[in-house]
Structure 1
């Protein structure tokens, strides 16, 4: 940009004052009201029909030499502004300046303003703001393979023992009472049976070769019993971490139905894998698997953190999206199913896979219904704005 202190009015020979506009700068004389404007600014401000003929006349030299240019002081060319406006303006072919005396620019036609974008409804603006906040928070936490540690202290303990932790858990609108009650019942039943675990398991566990004993009641009782504290803590943790969000999404009755059907189908899959087995089976395998699959499918972008360590040396936190963790989990279950069939595993991977199928099917059904409900709500909110 040239030094504006050198810009002089062609008529008054006084310094021009710089003025800023939305499209750029021009220089005006406070005495006579004239102004010097670059051809580039004119093209951004006024229609081509006004400016192109003016510049074409100047390029062809169709005019008479007259007053000096405000910048280079060479004689400018006086040309006709347009056929519709018989006004002569001064143009400097070297500096691309056009000099307008007071009132001459009024004959130019401004470019039409672009149409204003329709304003988003308040709810949509809030959602966009929340997504931006989430994006900023993700950036602050670092990359997925060298993440910042979680904020809550208890997640360090869970991560130390190999448990996944939520980095950005979905917001909840209600308390997960069913999840809490089921977890409490599992803990109470398992702790009650620990002193006499062998007898309790023998009486209330699910045995594939005796699936109808106690009139089929063992399909339910085996859900609440566990083979030890580690077994109990693991399933209770997964239920509490993932079940609360699934319950909040589905509602209490549908959530309870998901767990019940997933547990039942998981037990059937376990029986089908070895119908003649006399080995007792306890644990909430199928029900928890259904919850895990539903969670990962409904909240696929939630980041799950894992603490990578060697012995007691803490290395780093890494994060995976829930959908990727689900893929890994399914691969492990397929390997576990092969080991179960080969008789080298005491974990019922078939129960996990049976519950996972139920979680997938129910997600397909209830996802569609909730999408329709959300679409209807958005349409109503849009109409009310």
Structure 2
């Protein structure tokens, strides 16, 4: 798996929506998500875990709620207690009204950990600015939301009886990657390839993003991974395809990215190099 770090494809305008999405995801994770402060301090106790479970159950997508439009009678309350099997989280009647459809939107800003957050934001940072540049601010924001909804509903339809929360910006970001592949397939992307050490290479976007999509499709079938049940690879595939389809009408009017010469790992080389 290659790690993208920079694309050689300057944007014409400031990607304000991309910046706002990046900032919002970090704020929600660091400030609003229970237990993050404890993990930064070196660990989380049972109370933090129970608060996190209740938080996710309220604001994350739960496939069976989304498909059947039915709230469960019992949910985590965020409190701790002692049961027959020892300390644990208290389950009780929900003290709130939840809209399963709106939870698709709120779930796009929730992440399960730093690696989950940073991975999604890295891809959004590298590829989001050019897609926003081509679509415009308002259309890009709507596009991002539509891809996120398509990814969540696609996953939920295939897992209609699942009670596990679905969180993350992965589906929407996958849509951005699909759009970038359609609009800028020949743009050059600097990547790090792990081979004893991290080797920097400059590859065309169709290679980097095409490889990413193939891996997600393989993983979604349960092959090659042991955690296929905890990562929503199907949502990545659906979001990517939705992004490609939505961006396809813009393909003909998209100018090709510049191909600057004398660039060394994203920087202009000195004369004579």
Change (3 A) 1:304 1:277: same
* 2:24 corresponds to which of 180, 185, 196: 185
Partner Cα distance (1:299, 1:279) in 2: 36
- Cross-structure match for 1:199: 54
- Runs of 5+ unmatched residues, structure 2: 36-50, 72-97, 256-273
- Equivalences for 1:87-126 in 2 at 5 Å? none
1:173 aligns with one of 3, 6, 12: 12
| Structural mapping, 1:1-385, within 5 Å | 163-168=3-8, 170-191=9-30, 192-195=32-35, 196-211=51-66, 212=69, 214-215=98-99, 216-310=101-195, 314=197, 316-339=199-222, 344-368=228-252, 370=253
Q: Deviations over 1:297-334 (max 9, x none)?
A: 21111222232345xx6353223210112221121111
Contact 1:166–1:302 (CA<8 Å) still a contact in 2? Answer: no
* CA pair 290-344 structure 1, distance change in 2 beyond 3 A: closer
Contact between 1:207 and 1:281, CA under 8 Å: does it hold in 2? Answer: yes
**Cα offsets for 1:140-177 (capped at 9, x unmatched):** xxxxxxxxxxxxxxxxxxxxx96312252x22221111
| TM-aligned CA distance change 1:319 to 1:188, over 3 Å | same
SS in 1 for 2:166: coil
Cα 1:330/1:219, change in 2 over 3 Å: same
Q: Secondary structure at the match of 2:108?
A: helix
Q: Output the TM-score relative to the length of structure 1.
A: 0.51
1: CA distance, partners of 2:26 / 2:3: 18
Cα RMSD, aligned residues only? 2.3
- Structure-2 change in CA distance of 1:345 and 1:319 (3 Å): farther
1:343: how far off? 7.8
The whole-number CA distance in structure 2 between the counterparts of 1:185 and 1:299 is 27
Q: Please list every run of 5 or more consecutive structure 1 residues that lacks an aligned counterpart in the other structure.
A: 1-160, 375-385
Instruction: Return the alpha-carbon distance in structure 1 between the equivalents of residues 212 and 237 of structure 2.
Output: 10
**1:309-364: CA deviations, max 9, x gaps?**
45xx6353223210112221121111121019x98431111111111121111121
Q: Give how far 1:235 is off.
A: 0.8
* Cα shift readout 1:224-267 (whole Å, capped 9, x = no counterpart): 00001111111111111110111111100111121111000000
Q: Hey, what's the Cα distance between the residues in 2 that align with 1:364 and 1:185?
A: 28
Instruction: Supply the distance in 1 between the matched residues of 2:240 and 2:198 (Cα, whole angstroms).
Output: 32
* Larger RCO, structures 1/2 (Cα 8 Å, 6+ apart): 2
Q: What SS does structure 1 have at the residue aligned with 2:222? A: helix
8 Å CA contact 2:144–2:173 kept in 1: the answer is: yes
Whether the 8 Å contact between 1:336 and 1:347 is mirrored in structure 2 is no
